[in-house]
Amino acid sequence: MALMRTLSACVSVAEKAGVVLRDIMASGNLGIVDKGGINNLQTLADKKAQLLIVTSLMKHSPKATIIGEEDDIDYDTDEARSLITMDTSSEVMEHSCPDKLAGINEEDLVIWVDPLDGTKEYVEGRKQDVTVLIGIAAHGEAVAGVIYQPWYEVEGKETGRTLWGVVGLGAFGFKRVPVPEGRKIITTTRSHMQKSVQDAIDSCKPDKLIQIGGAGSKCILVIEGTADAYLFASPGTKKWDTCAGDAIIKSLGGKMTDVFGKDLLYHADVPYPNKTGVLATMRDFDFYLSKIPANIMDR
Ligand code: AMP
Ligand code: MG
Ligand code: MG
């Protein structure tokens, strides 16, 4: 019950954060800041979207732990208070919580927030790659997730869409295309390519490689059946990049781990980086795992 209640708020705030991303893009004043490292940017949109999501969730689910990507945000301001929304998704509340997750209490929840996944792509105007990610974990495991895609087009109109899922219940908000048996299409990074990433991909001998920005957008390709595996043999992604997609992929019967097959864990006190990379598939997980060289990166 606590899980579905919190998830219903997450769906609603993810969509409202998407409006913030669209409005700031339309204003033309992105306020770009370099956070250091390679292709590691922040804009006014990252900050304002996180402000909206986190202040709203703190009010809605005060006992949950909420961890957002941006760490320089003051939630005790008039602006923060003005952004609070208590709206929830009635679509989520129409579903009952799977029995296995029914015992989860609000204080067990750890909510991982990436207010704008694909900031580099946002800055470059590659809007289709941008997503808002909210993942919910309990006892270390990703159990529910929301991916909002603000610029998703329906009949030529950028209406946006929400994908959400709960492990044991299923996932909603998209259509999975039929996938030919044995096909191997891999998706990976566009802007953080390096040798270990390429070597792991080459070992799998994919039929095709799709390089796009953002962890959320790559998870969507796997969820919908456009790609068969998301493979990134490198540090770089953080828990807020993977938690939402991890939960949705799992809720469809797929799998997300590091590149050595170890589950990604989402306890409140885990280190944020996914140091040993990401492997996510809806099928043929063992094939990809068997092809990735054991020494591809430091464990
Ligand atoms: P990508 O697949 O490169 O678009 O990255 C997916 C997510 O992981 C984005 O949120 C990136 O910012 C993050 N990420 C990946 N590699 C790095 C890196 N080397 N440094 C910082 N962030 C990274
Ligand atoms: Mg991100
Ligand atoms: Mg981000």
End-to-end CA distance of the chain: 38
Q: Tell me: the pLDDT tens digits for 167-179?
A: 999 999 999 999 9
Residue 172 near residue 188, CB atoms below 8 Å = no
Q: Hey, what are 155's tokens?
A: 């009949």
Residue nearest to atom 2 of ligand 1 (CA): 189
192 alpha carbon – ligand 1 mean position (Å): 6
Span 37-49, average pLDDT: 95
Segments forming the whole domain that contains residue 25: 2-172
Does 260 map to a domain?
A: yes
Verify that 45 and 105 share a domain, yes or no: yes
1 has a pLDDT exceeding 90: no
Verify that 52 and 166 share a domain, yes or no: yes
Span 224-236, average pLDDT: 98
Does 277 map to a domain?
A: yes
Average pLDDT, the chain: 97
Q: Which atom of ligand 1 is nearest to the CA of 232?
A: 2
Residue nearest to atom 13 of ligand 1 (CA): 237
Verify that 194 and 145 share a domain, yes or no: no
Verify that 219 and 139 share a domain, yes or no: no
Give residues with Cβ within 8 angstroms of 235, minimum separation 6. 273, 274, 275, 276, 277, 297
Residue finishing a domain among 122, 147, 172:
172
Q: Tell me: the pLDDT tens digits for 245-272?
A: 999 999 999 999 999 999 999 999 999 9
Q: Which atom of ligand 1 is nearest to the CA of 213?
A: 4
Pick from 222, 224, 209: nearest CA to 161:
224
Verify that 148 and 204 share a domain, yes or no: no
Question: How far is 247 from 66, CA to CA, in rounded Å?
Answer: 17
Pocket of ligand 1 (CB under 6 A): 37-38, 40, 117, 189-192, 213-215, 236-237, 241
Residue nearest to atom 9 of ligand 1 (CA): 214
Verify that 168 and 189 share a domain, yes or no: no
Verify that 102 and 189 share a domain, yes or no: no
Verify that 265 and 140 share a domain, yes or no: no
Half-sphere exposure in the Cβ direction for 156 (13 Å, CA) = 0
Helix, strand and coil percent figures for the chain, each rounded to 5: 35, 25, 40
Residue 101 near residue 168, CB atoms below 8 Å = yes
67 alpha carbon – ligand 2 mean position (Å): 13
In this prediction, residue 200 has a pLDDT band, given cuts at 50, 70 and 90, of very high
Q: Hey, what are 28's tokens?
A: 């033309």
Q: Which atom of ligand 1 is nearest to the CA of 238?
A: 8
Chain mean position to CA 179:
23
CATH number at residue 55: 3.30.540.10
Residues labelled catalytic:
46, 119
Nearest ligand by distance to the CA of 237: 1
Verify that 32 and 100 share a domain, yes or no: yes
69 alpha carbon – ligand 3 mean position (Å): 6
Does 9 map to a domain?
A: yes
Residue finishing a domain among 172, 201, 235:
172
Verify that 151 and 255 share a domain, yes or no: no
Q: Tell me: the pLDDT tens digits for 111-155?
A: 999 999 999 999 999 999 999 999 999 999 999 999 999 999 999
Q: Is this model's pTM higher than 0.85 or not?
A: yes
Chain length of the chain? 299
CATH number at residue 279: 3.40.190.80
70 has a pLDDT exceeding 90: yes
Does 180 map to a domain?
A: no
Span 216-242, average pLDDT: 98
Does 179 map to a domain?
A: no
Indicate the number of domains in the chain. Answer: 2
Pocket test for ligand 1, best of 39, 201, 219 (most atoms within 8 A of CB): 39
Residue finishing a domain among 172, 195, 217:
172
Q: Tell me: the pLDDT tens digits for 147-157?
A: 999 999 999 99
The Cβ of residue 139 has, within 10 Å, a number of other Cβ atoms equal to 12
Verify that 150 and 41 share a domain, yes or no: yes
Question: How far is 296 from 292, CA to CA, in rounded Å?
Answer: 7
